């Protein structure tokens, strides 16, 4: 039988059409869902993990303030219910068989026609806030006088329409103000922490190896073999972390690969494991959020424009969700991809500095150190 597909005319991307996406439903309290659908908010959370965490800590709490007293249902990815237990009345996760739709996710939005159709269909149950709505909350400024609404990640002093000074800053435009108001993800239970310890050897560190279709920026298995060798030579015991849908399979047999275990869908257990690590290491991936929200140190290799650039927002998002030490090694992806030796030497340098309590950024494998330092100084207020 011929597969039914969606085809994006502009990008020529072909997406298999799904008839009837199914959910696992989690109810977190005894509240009754209102008979009047206008009193229920369907909050869609189909975005990248890095933005999803910002949504949980800042955007959904803002939705609760805007729409007080409403029954709240979050709708999102498989294995995420732990993020929403303390925020909403119910969580509807799409079943694991649909996780390939994550390949269509971007920052605070998606390009999937299946997900768009799904979000539209949820109006049967309540007022639908599509995934992009949380992005509007994160990056939207509001004028209290003329009610103008405009997006941006720069701090504003007046309304772009009426010049009123009575403006509500966007979350990403005033991180110093909003970060103390963050609704933190709860710490894992003592029971989960005890279970987590059973997976760990002495001096454990976590490795998250990106393997995504969206944006690429994946490193070779050979690179991770060298990384594991380095960490073991330095006295650490790595554990391979992540979700199998976007994580490279561990290329070394003697390392525990949590990404391929059924337990990987238990986010509370994952966070419990992360909470016991010395630090995590990752390259061009938002998996830093797991260590960040637990207050565990992490080392991230990321591009200068994403951390410091006026258009890149990763530096701002990292600032909003990090509650512990972080070490950034600013490097261009292709330089690392093509020169493993220098990259591994940089990892060693960064880990040595972390051991000494030095969490200053390292300007690593970039094309122009002068240009990188310039954009850092220009945007220092956003990403400090």
Q: Mean pLDDT across the stretch 318-327? A: 96
Residue 238 · residue 229 · CB < 8 Å = no
Residue 112 · residue 142 · CB < 8 Å = no
The first and second tokens of residue 82, run together, are 């732990």
Strand segments, DSSP code E, in 102-234 are 105-106, 109-110, 127-129, 140-143, 149-151, 167-168, 204-208
Please report, for the chain, the start and end positions of each structural domain, with discontinuous segments joined by +: 5-138, 139-181, 190-383
pLDDT tens-digit series, residues 350-378: 999 999 999 999 999 998 877 777 777 77
Q: Looking at the predicted structure, is the pLDDT value of residue 244 above 80?
A: yes
First to last CA, the chain: 55
Distances (CA, A) of 363 to 289, 299, 327, 338, 350: 22, 13, 11, 18, 11
Question: Of the ranges 115-129, 287-301, 366-380, which one carries the lowest mean pLDDT score?
Answer: 366-380
Q: Looking at the predicted structure, is the pLDDT value of residue 310 above 80?
A: no
Bridge partner list, 363: 330
Q: Mean pLDDT across the stretch 330-342? A: 96
Compute the distance between CA of residue 368 and CA of residue 366 in angstroms, rounded to an integer: 6
Q: Tell me, what's the pLDDT at 106?
A: 85
CA 44 vs. chain centroid, Å, equals 15
pLDDT tens-digit series, residues 136-165: 999 999 999 999 999 888 888 899 999 999
Class of domain 190-383: alpha beta
**pTM listed for this prediction:** 0.91
- 8 confidence band (pLDDT: 50, 70, 90): very low
Residue 106 · residue 214 · CB < 8 Å = yes
* E strand or H helix that includes residue 173: none
Q: Tell me, what's the pLDDT at 2?
A: 38
Q: Mean pLDDT across the stretch 194-217? A: 93
Give the DSSP letter of residue 56: I
């Amino acid at each position: 039988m011929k597969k039914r597909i969606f085809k994006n005319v502009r990008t020529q991307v072909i997406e298999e059409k799904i008839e009837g996406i199914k959910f696992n439903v989690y109810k977190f309290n005894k509240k009754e869902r209102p008979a009047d659908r206008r009193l229920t908010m369907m909050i869609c959370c189909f975005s990248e993990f890095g933005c999803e965490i910002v949504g949980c800590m800042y955007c959904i709490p803002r939705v609760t303030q805007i729409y007080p007293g409403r029954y709240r249902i979050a709708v999102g990815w498989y294995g995420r219910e732990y993020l929403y237990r303390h925020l909403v009345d119910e969580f509807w996760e799409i079943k694991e068989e649909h996780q390939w739709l994550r390949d269509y996710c971007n920052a605070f939005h998606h390009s999937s026609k299946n997900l768009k159709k799904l979000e539209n269909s949820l109006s049967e149950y309540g007022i639908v806030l599509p995934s992009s709505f949380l992005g509007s909350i994160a990056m939207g400024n509001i004028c209290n006088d003329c009610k103008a609404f405009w997006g941006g990640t720069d701090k504003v002093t007046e309304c772009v329409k009426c010049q009123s000074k009575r403006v509500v800053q966007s979350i990403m435009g005033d991180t110093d103000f909003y970060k103390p108001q963050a609704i933190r993800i709860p710490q894992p239970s003592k029971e989960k922490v005890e279970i987590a310890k059973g997976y760990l050897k002495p001096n454990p560190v976590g490795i998250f190896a990106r393997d995504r279709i969206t944006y690429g920026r994946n490193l070779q298995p050979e690179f991770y073999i060298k990384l594991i060798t380095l960490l073991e030579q330095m006295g650490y015991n790595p554990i391979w972390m992540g979700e199998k849908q976007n994580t490279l399979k561990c290329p070394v047999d003697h390392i525990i690969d949590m990404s391929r275990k059924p337990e990987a869908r238990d986010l509370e257990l994952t966070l419990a494991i992360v909470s016991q690590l010395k630090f995590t290491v990752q390259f061009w991936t938002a998996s830093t959020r797991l260590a960040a929200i637990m207050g565990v140190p992490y080392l991230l290799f990321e591009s200068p424009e994403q951390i410091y650039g006026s258009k890149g927002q990763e530096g701002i998002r990292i600032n909003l969700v990090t509650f512990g030490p972080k070490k950034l090694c600013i490097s261009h992806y292709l330089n690392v991809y093509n020169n493993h030796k220098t990259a591994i030497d940089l990892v060693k340098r960064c880990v040595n500095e972390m051991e000494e309590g030095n969490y200053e950024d390292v300007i690593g494998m970039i094309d122009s150190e002068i240009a990188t330092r310039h954009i850092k100084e220009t945007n220092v207020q956003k990403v400090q």
